């Protein structure tokens, strides 16, 4: 796989996780975005704030500066001080925009450039995979909290329970072809939640 194909594939994977978060946030009433199981647990808003801080730190000037910026205040990312949907969405979209802008800047001329996170050297794929796993972990938490908080009203973000056979029948009715597995899921759904 060449550099361009790799970056396009990785961008699609990150877009998929952003979409899962977008769809969760969109279907929740405001109060559910800020709900905490207990004082030691994170709300969706706190997780979004942490993702925002991490993304801004890791991906701002990522080829020339360490991914753990001196201006980042990681501990404050877990303070419960985001309390309106608009601020949550601003941070959510700002973090992802920083990530996508950085990924789109990667090409064959800079692909072998080392990236540092807390003074540890990473190849670009290592840095990307580290963050992909981290973001998928937290988006999974967001989805779980969303599903748990609204119960029966939850609209499934994947194959709904009991519909696996119908889904597989539809997929296998189409001849083998080249595509990214998220293409069907993201068609028409790539816009950020408002």
pLDDT tens digits, one per residue of 127-146: 999 999 999 999 999 999 99
Domains and CATH numbers, the chain: 3-186 (1.20.120.450)
Give how far Cα 47 sits from Cα of 14, 66, 101, 105, Å. Answer: 17, 23, 22, 27
**Looking at the predicted structure, is the pLDDT value of residue 27 above 90?**
yes
Enclosing H/E stretch for 169: helix 164-172
Segment 10-30 shows an average pLDDT of 97
**Looking at the predicted structure, is the pLDDT value of residue 147 above 60?**
yes
Output the pTM of the full model.
0.90
Nearest Cα to Cα of residue 84 among 43, 132, 24, 131: 43
How large is the angle between the packed helices 3-27 and 124-150, nearest 10 degrees? 20
Helix/strand/coil for 122: strand
pLDDT above 90 as % of the chain: 80
């Amino acid at each position: 796989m060449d550099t361009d194909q790799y970056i396009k594939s990785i961008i699609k994977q990150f877009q998929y996780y952003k979409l899962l978060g977008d769809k969760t946030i969109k279907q929740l009433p405001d109060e559910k975005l800020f709900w905490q199981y207990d004082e030691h647990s994170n709300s969706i808003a706190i997780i979004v704030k942490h993702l925002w801080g991490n993304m801004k730190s890791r991906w701002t000037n990522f080829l020339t500066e360490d991914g753990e910026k001196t201006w980042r205040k990681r501990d404050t990312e877990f303070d419960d001080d985001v309390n309106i949907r608009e601020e949550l969405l601003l941070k959510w979209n700002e973090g992802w925009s920083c990530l996508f802008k950085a990924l789109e800047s990667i090409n064959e001329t800079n692909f072998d450039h080392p990236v540092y996170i807390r003074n540890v050297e990473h190849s670009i794929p290592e840095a990307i995979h580290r963050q992909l796993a981290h973001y998928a972990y937290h988006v999974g938490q967001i989805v779980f909290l969303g599903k748990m908080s609204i119960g029966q009203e939850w609209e499934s973000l994947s194959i709904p329970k009991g519909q696996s056979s119908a889904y597989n029948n539809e997929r296998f009715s189409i001849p083998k072809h080249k595509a990214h597995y998220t293409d069907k899921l993201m068609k028409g759904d790539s816009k950020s939640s408002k």
